[in-house]
Chain A
Amino acid sequence: MDLVLQLLFTGIGIGAVYALVALGFVLIFRATNVVNFAQGEFSMVAAYIMVICAVDLSLPYWLSFIIALAGMVVVGVIFNLGVYYPLRHRTYLPVIIATIGASILLTNSVLALYGPQPQVLAGWFETPGIQLGPVYLDSQYLLIIAVTLALVAFNWWFFEHTMIGKKLQATSQDKEMASLLGISVSTMIMITFIYSAVLGGLAGILVAPILFVSIQMGATIALKAFAATIIGGFGDVAGAVIGGLALGIIETFGAAYISVPYKDGFAFLVLVLFLIFRPQGIFGERVAEKA
């Protein structure tokens, strides 16, 4: 029972990271109808910026954090201008391929600049964690869960209760009508890319002390975040969060009770099962191309 609780805690912590990246997926998908296959690389790039600042340059952790997030803003802008925006009038297939190209470019640029050795990044807190009854609560996991909760709340407030959030929603639902109402669609899309790059970056920075910082971390996280969005229901914000948590828990238990080397395979298995038996996910969204 103790082990179950411990695994549950770990699963929720990892799941929260998937949820953050999944949120980034969903935001871009809703704004542009395109799945960004480089979403995971945002996490990877941010984690490397953290390593460079906090480890290599020995800057304070908080300063490194700010630099990393600022870096993600720049990445979001460049990504939008260089990859998405020129293709915005084309069908989804060229855009998908271009984002895959961007993902390869980012991963291997980092590899070329920084080499293949995985890096270690310390956690935010000095205290490693607290013992609560039978469960040991790792401070980094606690931080991840807290930040995810705060971001979900912020997200809800931002989209439902601010003007800019409403403009973003309008843009994602009908670009033409939004532009006729005086909303600058290209600005809104730019904001979406920046926001989701920052979300992805945040996830990467938070998860870096738990995993090694490696060039593959982006692909691994993105794969699971995508599985999370399908499990939750594609394009649904709540679905992405629930899906992420569910996946984190499934994976942690799978690794503990079934097999460690195939830990990364469980996400795929769950993904395929959902695709076959409930492609609309838990919260149900349309899945086929629009009629």
Chain B
Amino acid sequence: MSTSENIQSVADIARPKPLLVRHAPYFIGAAVLVFLAASMQFDGYILNILMQATTFAIAVFGLSVVLGLCGQINLSQAAFFGFGAYVVGLGTTDYQLNYWICLFGGCVLALAAGALLGLSTLRLGGHYLAMVTISFQQIVTLIMINAIWLTKGPDGVPKIGRPALFSSSQSYLAFCVAVLAIVGYIVWHMPNTRLGRAMRAVRDNELAAGVNGIDVFRTKIYAFAICALLGGLGGGLFAGGFAYVSPDQFSFAESIVFLTMSLLGGVASPIGSAIGTGLLILIPEWLRFLKSVPGLYLAIYGLSVILIIRFMPDGIWGFVTAAYDRMWPPKKVAPSAAALVLKPAATGGATVLDVTDLSKHFGGLKAVDGVDIAVHRGGVHALIGPNGSGKTTTLNVLSGLYEATAGKVVLDGTDVTAMPPHLRAAAGLGRTFQNIRLFRSMTALENVIIGAERPGNTLIGKGDHAALTERALAALTFVGLGPRANELISSFSYGHQRLIEIARALAGNPTLLLLDEPAAGLNSTEKLELHELLKRIAAQGLTILIIDHDMTLVSEAAQHITVLNFGRRIADGESMAVLRHPDVVSAYLGTA
């Protein structure tokens, strides 16, 4: 097979057919389902199963957002489901409110509860989130059972109303299926939106997401709130469908059922959610005899969770798509015709980065101690020093991963000292990591698109998908990897992964590029290529601050060098002069 056959033209990628045309089959299919739900004569039993599956699936879609897209756990989805159900239940009975107002209110309540819960916990690690959501679930159950004045306690809420428009069970089911189809479409489409990409980036690598301009905390809260919202929506519909709700329907066990549905089908996709929900509603119906022994079928759920996690971590749908990808691997892409343009902003003076008296202390250890660095606009500035001299710490303070103990960092006229990483990225800072931090579940192109989306990037027009793809492809082509844009990160060699990381930073058109030991682990050919690349970047006027141990690379590429030792600056100035400086020689070679 010749390569030309294997190559998809750029036009195909950059300018696909309008979304509505491409996705028309989905809507036609959904319309057929809604029609079937409305017109087929189901008996009551089948109708109940379908109603349950439809409303549960909406809640499980929520998990596919928070767990699948964003990698955050939620073990209280049944509580959010319960919020929606109780607001509709109590609202339409005790308070005689309109169904639509109640449904909306339930969604808002779930959304607000999810956002608040997220605000309290999402800055911390995942263990906290798991335990806090379990606790939250328990509290909600306690309230449902004990606050009898509000919830009617264990007796539950009977005679819940439906909207007049969908008063028959059949028409109400059709309405629920329509809602499911719309929510499913949104969730299915979400990974390719800006927010969805941010969630995936956060899931794959929080630090890298931050330095690429993504507000990690906010993204997690959005994911969590969306999940809770979908839980509330599903619950609200559920209450109308079954006309009766009680606390045991929204217990921790039910949260586990939701989780199992999500894991079984495949957490990454709404299709997986639908499969998982369908199976776990149908299987217990087929195996009704299991329900005669209390606990038995939940025990089987528990065992299934362990087995799925171990043997089929991507669920049924993930297994199917992986098999599909193996049979039809991604096509090669023609390299971008457009050359990568870098237009670094220049609002400040001649100094792009002005670091004064910067210190970072870890307890008693002064890793960085009163360092001054002035990086002039254009060209390559190197920061060198023996191991343990504080170079990487300095870089981490500059990009906001560590908080400075003292000192000031001014980037292109903006004081960024107190900013978190994503705001520094927005202010024009791009960086790579010594131990490569790419988004490993994504393709090279998707990685670089996230870079191109840097807030403050002026070169992506209105920032639509076509413009972003074009920009990302240009950046990948610039580092020589354009044709392999659609491959997953894991299929690239170490050296190429470094280049992708550089392309990701370049796509964002930064004002200053920080490179953390880019030559580490590269062979001599790759080092030469890297040197070439640095020259081509510098030729476009982008300022580079580089840390490296390779003296050949540093002395040839950098015009200006700052030397650190034991956290202090020991020399600074024009390259050749600095490298001959006696203190530098003795720091590297020891005193004679």
Contacts and interface: CB of A to CB of B under 8 A. Distances in A.
Interface of A: 29, 35, 37, 82-83, 86-87, 90, 92-94, 96-98, 100-112, 115-116, 215, 219, 223, 226-227, 230, 261-262, 264-265, 267-268, 271-272, 275-276, 279, 287-289, 291
Nearest to B123: A288
Given A98-B306, A276-B120, A268 B138 contact: yes
Interface string B263-300: 10000000000000000000000000000011111110
8 contacts: A82-B306, A98-B305, A100-B256, A107-B298, A108-B297, A223-B138, A275-B120, A275-B132
Interface in B295-315: 295-299, 301-306, 309-310, 313
A35 B296 contact: no
B124 A100 contact: no
User: Which of B128, B207, B294, B313: most chain A CB closer than 10 A?
Assistant: B128
A102 B308 CA distance: 12
Contacts of B252: 219
A96 B131 CA distance: 10
Contacts of B396: 291
A69 B223 CA distance: 43
A82 B75 CA distance: 22
Nearest to B141: A264
B294 A105 contact: no
B135 interface: yes
B73 interface: yes
Q: Is the interface of B mostly helix, strand, loop or mixed?
A: helix
B326 interface: no
B146 A268 contact: no
B71 interface: yes
A67 to B, nearest CB: 23
A115 B294 contact: yes
Contacts of B461: none
Contact of B135 (A29, A109, A268, A279): A268
Given A272-B120, A275-B120, A108 B298 contact: yes
Contacts of B207: 291
A104 B298 contact: yes
Interface of B: 71, 73, 75, 120-121, 123-128, 130-132, 134-136, 138-139, 142, 146, 206-207, 252-253, 256, 259, 263, 293-299, 301-306, 309-310, 313, 396, 401-402
A87 B310 contact: yes
Contacts of B71: 93
Contacts of B293: 112
B239 to A, nearest CB: 25
A112 B535 CA distance: 70
Given A111-B294, A112-B293, A287-B125, A101 B120 contact: no
Contact of A100 (B130, B142, B297): B130
Nearest to A287: B124
A87 B132 CA distance: 23
A267 B135 CA distance: 9
Nearest to A269: B139
A291 B124 contact: no
B132 A272 contact: yes
B125 to A, nearest CB: 5
Contacts of B128: 230, 275, 279, 287
A98 B134 contact: no
A262 B142 contact: yes
Contacts of B313: 90, 94
A104 B135 contact: no
A182 to B, nearest CB: 27
Given A83-B306, A94-B313, A104-B299, 16 more contacts: A29-B127, A87-B310, A90-B313, A92-B127, A94-B309, A96-B126, A102-B306, A104-B305, A107-B299, A108-B296, A108-B298, A108-B301, A111-B298, A223-B138, A287-B124, A287-B128
Contacts of A268: 135-136, 138-139
A108 B309 contact: no
A87 B309 contact: yes
Contacts of A112: 293-296, 299
A5 to B, nearest CB: 29
Given A86-B310, A105-B302, A275-B124, A97 B131 contact: no
B132 A101 contact: no
Contacts of B303: 101, 105
Nearest to B136: A268
B120 to A, nearest CB: 5
B302 A102 contact: yes
A287 B263 CA distance: 27
B314 to A, nearest CB: 11
Contact of B294 (A116, A261, A265): A116
Contacts of A264: 138, 142
B309 A289 contact: no
B294 A103 contact: no
Given A96-B130, A115-B294, A101 B305 contact: yes
A291 B299 contact: no
A261 B136 contact: no
Contact of B146 (A98, A107, A115, A261): A261
B295 A109 contact: yes
A108 B310 contact: no
Contacts of B124: 275, 279, 287-288
Nearest to A273: B120
A101 B309 contact: yes
A213 to B, nearest CB: 15
A271 B135 contact: yes
Nearest to B306: A101
B589 to A, nearest CB: 30
A104 B301 contact: yes
B564 to A, nearest CB: 20
A108 B301 CA distance: 9
Nearest to A38: B302
A280 to B, nearest CB: 10
A94 B131 CA distance: 15
A96 B73 contact: yes
Nearest to A90: B313
A121 B310 CA distance: 37
Contacts of B126: 92-93, 96, 289
Contacts of A275: 120-121, 124, 128, 132
A262 B138 CA distance: 11
A105 B295 contact: no
Nearest to B75: A100
Contacts of A29: 127
Contacts of A82: 306
B49 to A, nearest CB: 23
Contact of A104 (B138, B139, B146, B302): B302
A6 to B, nearest CB: 25
A286 to B, nearest CB: 9
- 8 cross-chain pairs, A with B, having the tightest CB-CB distances, nearest first: A111-B295, A101-B305, A105-B302, A104-B302, A108-B299, A108-B295, A112-B295, A108-B298
Given A96-B130, A98-B310, A103 B123 contact: no
A289 B298 contact: no
Contacts of B130: 35, 37, 96, 100
A215 B128 CA distance: 24
A111 B298 CA distance: 10
User: Which of B126, B142, B252, B305: most chain A CB closer than 10 A?
Assistant: B305
A161 to B, nearest CB: 27
Nearest to B298: A108
A77 B359 CA distance: 49
A35 B135 contact: no
A291 B401 contact: yes
A226 B131 contact: yes
A223 B135 contact: yes
